[in-house]
Amino acid sequence: MSGAARKILIGQVVGTKMIRTAKVRVNRLHLDPFVTQYFPKRSTVFAHDPEEAAKLGDIVLVKELPIKKSTHVKYQMERIIYSLGNVTDPITGKKCDCYSYWDDDKSTEDAVSTPGSTDGDGMEEEITRTIGEERELKTEGTPV
């Protein structure tokens, strides 16, 4: 099988209890020739993970091995495409949650302002938003 093309699959890690092996669930679409309609089909493969870098929920790229490692392990994990829980902001490059960065000490409640809140000088904040190019919408202290 050295000259033949090998399968490359993308799946989600569903188990990491075995040593240097990850259980990966692969979702596919299967064509039923009788009704000529695609139906979802999922299969589970075991992939060799030498660094044990995969965690539950990670999206990984696996590649078929030329020779089986063991009875069940037929694939090698190439790389982790998306690590679950480790989200990096593409603009700043910092790790973040939904509303805040991990290295900030601010809580999410402080970051969200309430309608009608006052600034340090005591004036209500004015929200100005441009809709289109011809008109402007101004509201005072109301949620947008």
User: Domain extents for the chain?
Assistant: 8-82, 113-140
| Encoded tokens for 1 | 């099988």
Model pTM score: 0.58
Beta bridge partners of 140: 126
Those residues whose C-beta lies under 8 Å from the C-beta of residue 114, and which sit 6 or more positions away, are: none
For strands 8-15 and 59-64, give the pairing. antiparallel
**Range 8-82 classified under CATH 2.60.40.1260:** no
Residue by residue, pLDDT tens for the chain (144 residues) are 455 668 899 999 999 999 999 999 999 999 999 999 999 999 999 999 999 999 999 999 999 999 999 999 999 999 999 888 777 777 888 887 767 777 654 444 444 444 554 455 444 444 444 444 344 444 555 555
